[in-house]
Amino acid sequence: MTTAIDAKVTTQVYRVFIKATPQAIWDAITKPEWTERYGYGGRAEYELRAGGKYRAHAPEPMRAMGAPAVVVDGEVIESDPPRRLVQTWRALWDPALVAEGARRLTWEIEVAGPGVSALTVTHELEGAPQTAATVAGNTDLASGGGGWPWILSDLKTLLESGKPLQG
């Protein structure tokens, strides 16, 4: 079942239950060798301290289609491994998205039961309707626009099976 999210929604919250430890999920979110294996396949780099930089790099296929080398940037606000990461998040691949500026993104990881953790992603998108539509996956799926639902589904699949959704 697919649910479209209204771009007027100013806060988007996604929760996924993953058969993995909080540390494994934290590592998959914050370590470049993991971030290259799911979602859009880009290398994410975090300086895991308040004021630290965040950058998500475009993989080669995205760069070949004209994407900039860094497709998302931001700043770490709070880092509490392996439970909570708060950062800003600004899309750089489209001038309209750049103009909407950085928005707050929170990752929360908690034990949900034996061997299962809950990952909750909260993206605050007040005043950023185009970013909201993009991260909700309300763009053309055939062109690779699955947003947070795609990224989190792929993260879950990778951690539980060792393989991404595609490939």
Could you tell me the CA-to-CA distances from 33 to 86, 114, 137, 149 in Å, in that order?
Answer: 21, 27, 24, 21
Residues of the chain with pLDDT under 70: 1-9, 139-145, 167
Please state the pTM of the whole predicted model.
0.91
pLDDT at residue 140 in the model: 59
pLDDT at residue 146 in the model: 85
> Rounded distance, CA 105 to CA 88, Å?
6
pLDDT at residue 24 in the model: 98
Phi, psi of 105 (to 5 degrees): -130, 130
Q: Under a CB-based contact definition with an 8 Å cutoff, are residues 133 and 119 in contact?
A: no
pLDDT digits (tens, 9 = 90+) for 15-24: 999 999 999 9
pLDDT at residue 101 in the model: 97
pLDDT digits (tens, 9 = 90+) for 71-80: 999 999 999 9
Could you tell me the CA-to-CA distances from 147 to 51, 57, 76, 124, 136 in Å, in that order?
Answer: 26, 16, 21, 14, 5
Q: What single DSSP character describes residue 9?
A: -
pLDDT at residue 167 in the model: 66
| Pair of tokens at residue 74 | 């931001």
Q: State the CB neighbour count (10 A cutoff) for residue 81.
A: 14
Q: Under a CB-based contact definition with an 8 Å cutoff, are residues 36 and 164 in contact?
A: no
pLDDT at residue 138 in the model: 73
Helix (H) or strand (E) holding 97: helix 95-100
pLDDT at residue 137 in the model: 86
pLDDT at residue 3 in the model: 47
